[in-house]
Structure 1
């Protein structure tokens, strides 16, 4: 049974965590499913926006399933659980499509890190955000001390990671981490996503690349992607490919 579903409704894709019995906490299987869905989405050019949400539960995502990682050796915990999770969340963050996290309930640990990997976040009024890892003897491992610190002030992240304080929706909105507070985050996310139909898909994608390059999100790849797009549209590129295919010396027009 899939615990991370992908549905596509016209130009809007929805990724949904479906592990409510465990507060939508991540298992290794869920990580693999998210990875596969992100790979499929990246190849789907008709998609204009991806909404990330969760089945109704007391938590949007309570983080990582402690039973799933608790018995791992230190080597497997670092190499597979932490690094694989980090890589998969990075893949979500770097989707070419705009992404919206619809946070209908509490987002703790890996759940907060998952929402942080999206471009914007919509949050329910009673939901809270937390980094409770130190309470079980570990530290944030899926970018909670890295990507999150680019989006929230350092003292606020320290409040959460060191002192266990929760961040409520009102304060998260005031700090700019949350775009909107709504009683129905998923409906608002869809409303925002539908407005992308009036924008240029290419311009939206390139703008995302530019912003990511500015804040250090996979900067080297973003810069080279932008350069590749620029040269890919040139007559020089067309001439070079044609010359190679026909085994002749290229005559570049310089445009």
Structure 2
């Protein structure tokens, strides 16, 4: 049974982590489920936004299940566990639809990296964030030292990754990492996403591409997506495709 559920009910889809007995820590099957859901969501034109949440536990997500990776040989650990996680979290980050994470509890390690892959975050007052990997002899592996440095100040990331300190919701909000602090983070995040019904889906998608290109999130792909979308709407493109089908030299109108 899947431990990452996808529910589509109206314009906002919900992705729910459902492994509370292990503090919603990621297993290989959960990573695979998340990737499959992201692929599916990209084709759901009726979905305007995506809410990421977790079943109630002491943590929104405690990162990666240690039992799932502790016996993996080093080369396999780097080649598959780390790179697969990166690819899957990147797919979430680069969804064309806006995403919001509701952190009802703590987000540690991979859980923090997962939240960072969303466009905004709402935290419960007592929720904290941390990068505790060095406590078990590893380092952040799913973008904690890469994507996260665009969202939090370098000294704060060092507090977490080097010294094991937890950052409170209040501090995360002060840094802009959290958009809101709410006793009902799921409801608050959903209310933000519901506002997408008043915006142009295409304009919102393009705005996200532009911002990602600006901060370096998959810049080559974002630039080519923007350019290709612009060219695809031209009369030149229509003439080029028609001429190819008719096996003749195109006469581009230049518009």
Say whether the fold is shared (TM-score over 0.5): yes
Structure 1 residue 67, shift from structure 2 partner:
0.3
Aligned residue for 1:149?
Answer: 149
Match of 2:21 in 1: 21
Supply the distance in 2 between the matched residues of 1:245 and 1:21 (Cα, whole angstroms).
58
The answer to whether 1:110 aligns with 2:137 is no
Q: Deviations over 1:142-194 (max 9, x none)?
A: 00000000110101000100000101000000000100000010001111111
| Structure 2: segments with no counterpart, 5+ residues | none
Q: CA deviation at 1:11?
A: 0.7
Runs of 4 or more off by more than 6 Å in structure 1? none
1:75 deviates by: 1.0
Give 1:227-238 correspondences, 5 Å limit: 227-238=227-238
Which runs of no fewer than 5 residues in structure 1 stay unpaired?
A: none
Q: What is the aligned-residue RMSD (CA, Å)?
A: 0.4
TM-score normalized with structure 2 length: 1.00
Equivalent pairs, count: 255
Equivalent-residue separation in structure 1 for 2:8 and 2:79 (angstroms)? 33
Aligned-pair CA distance for 1:76: 1.0
- How much has 1:228 moved relative to structure 2? 0.2
Q: 1:30 corresponds to which residue?
A: 30
Q: Within 5 A, what are the aligned runs for 1:88-107?
A: 88-107=88-107
What is the aligned partner in structure 2 of residue 76 from structure 1?
76
Alpha-carbon distance between aligned partners in 1 of 2:149 and 2:165, rounded to the nearest angstrom: 15
Distance 2:57 2:243 in 1: 60
Instruction: Name the SS of the counterpart of 2:214 in structure 1.
Output: helix
User: TM-score, normalised to structure 1's length?
Assistant: 1.00
| In structure 2, distance between residues paired with 1:61 and 1:49 | 21
